[in-house]
Amino acid sequence: MLSLRDALRQMWRDMRSQKLRTFLTVFGIVWGTVSVTLLLAFGKGMQSQMVVNAAGLGDGICIAWPGLTSIPFEGLGKGRKIRINEDDVEAIRRQAPGIRAVSSEYSDTMKMNYGTKTVAVDVSGVAPEFGFMRNINPQPGSRFINPTDMDEQRRVLFIGWKLAEQVFGKGTDPVGKTVMLKGSPFLVIGVLEEKIQQSSYSGRDNGKGFIPGTTFRALTGSKWVDNLIYQPAVMKDSKAVTDGVRRVLAGRQRFDPEDKEAFSVWDATEQFAFLATFFLSFRLFLGIIGSFTLIVGGIGVSNIMNVVVEERTKEIGIKMALGAKTPWILRQFLLETLLITAMGGLVGFGISMAVCAVFPSFKVTQYVGDPDVSMGVALLTAAVLGLTGLVAGYFPAREASRLDPVVAMKL
């Protein structure tokens, strides 16, 4: 019975007799393994980073705003302005099915004074739910607006990290300090933790201020909501949830539920669905390209094994004359082929891991992400390697096992 030790000894002898050919063959397997692993790892890293970048706007949210009617309804002409107030928002919270959270948003540009500094700040009046929906996470030691702030109309302010540096200076903790906002004192309760935000609808969060919606209305006299932010409980149900929200508002504001202009919605969940579909196809494409490179290396393995069979024809004939059966010869050459493939694969996988470990030091994560050699990538690479080695070695092994011992010993 062929042992692993015998196969290793025989493989080492064959490799020494064909050093250059063996090196080029193993290099082909190494290159193919690196191609498959890195292409899939970079594809996964890029997908993860794109999801992080998209989540800077919010976690599967819908941004809506009232507009003008474009369809006549119940005797009312088109072009009528729709206005939404807090009663409408509360009705949506109670009646619209499938909503996890909803928040109104009021917006205005206000003058902020601190010491000798005066800046114009885009300020939003929001509800506590706004924070987790928009991924507005406070830095350690600070907080976002809470329900008590809303109920008591507290004059508290949450600011973006870039605004904090602009007003208070870099390295200074603004929490607990008082600023004048629109002529009224406000206590800074929190600072936004740094995040990547590649899209927005009213400016980047890092330069904005957020106060309780009740305080905003009392300070400015605003009655009408500028934007409505809501989050479906299940992301894939966002269209049905939006239809439900529009029906609730249409019943209260008397406009056609099919009128998209009266109540416009930016469904940010569609971006996540698109990214998932796009990167599934993209990574599949990268995997196929990398697999083709590995197959080319497999052809090299097949070629060298054919040479090995030719050089060991007499040896094979002697073994068969001494009683070696066809399956024994077949297993011997298949095992040698798989060992050569595994050796190249291990080297290639090691190189890939080293590249993935070093790549984050180039500090381009925000743009292309960090490559990630996940368990799935490793298993897929191992499967492709095993299949390549099996196919590459089968035909030379079959040829060797079918030799006529009498003819083989004469060669």
Q: Does 388 share its domain with 350?
A: yes
Q: Which of 34-38, 180-184, 369-373 is modeled with the greatest confidence? A: 180-184
Q: Does 215 share its domain with 313?
A: no
What's the confidence (pLDDT) of residue 60?
Answer: 85
261 or 387, greater pLDDT: 261
What's the confidence (pLDDT) of residue 1?
Answer: 47
Number of structural domains in the chain? 2
pLDDT interval class at 187 (50, 70, 90): very high
Contacts of 186 (CB under 8 A, 6+ apart): 155, 156, 157, 178, 179, 180, 211
What's the confidence (pLDDT) of residue 322?
Answer: 66
- The percentage of the chain sitting over the pLDDT mark of 90, rounded to a whole number, equals 44
Range of the domain at 129: 62-267
Whether the CB-CB separation of 265 and 62 falls below 8 Å is answered with yes
Q: Does 279 share its domain with 250?
A: no
Q: Does 389 share its domain with 296?
A: yes
Cα radius of gyration (the chain): 33
Q: Does 22 share its domain with 136?
A: no
20 or 186, greater pLDDT: 186
Lowest mean pLDDT among 14-18, 178-182, 384-388, 395-399: 14-18
Instruction: List pLDDT tens digits, range 27-44.
Output: 877 888 888 888 888 888
Query: Which tokens belong to 38?
Result: 């890195």
Contacts of 347 (CB under 8 A, 6+ apart): 26, 30, 33
Query: What are the backbone angles phi and psi of residue 260, rounded to the nearest 5°?
Result: -70, -20
* Bridge partners (DSSP) listed for residue 232: 99
pLDDT interval class at 117 (50, 70, 90): very high
Strands 263-267 vs 99-114: parallel, antiparallel or unpaired: unpaired
Q: Does 111 share its domain with 254?
A: yes
Q: Does 313 share its domain with 211?
A: no
Q: What is the mean pLDDT of residues 63-67?
A: 94
The pTM (predicted TM-score) of the whole model is 0.71
What's the confidence (pLDDT) of residue 388?
Answer: 74
Q: Tell me the average pLDDT of the chain.
A: 84
Q: Does 332 share its domain with 215?
A: no
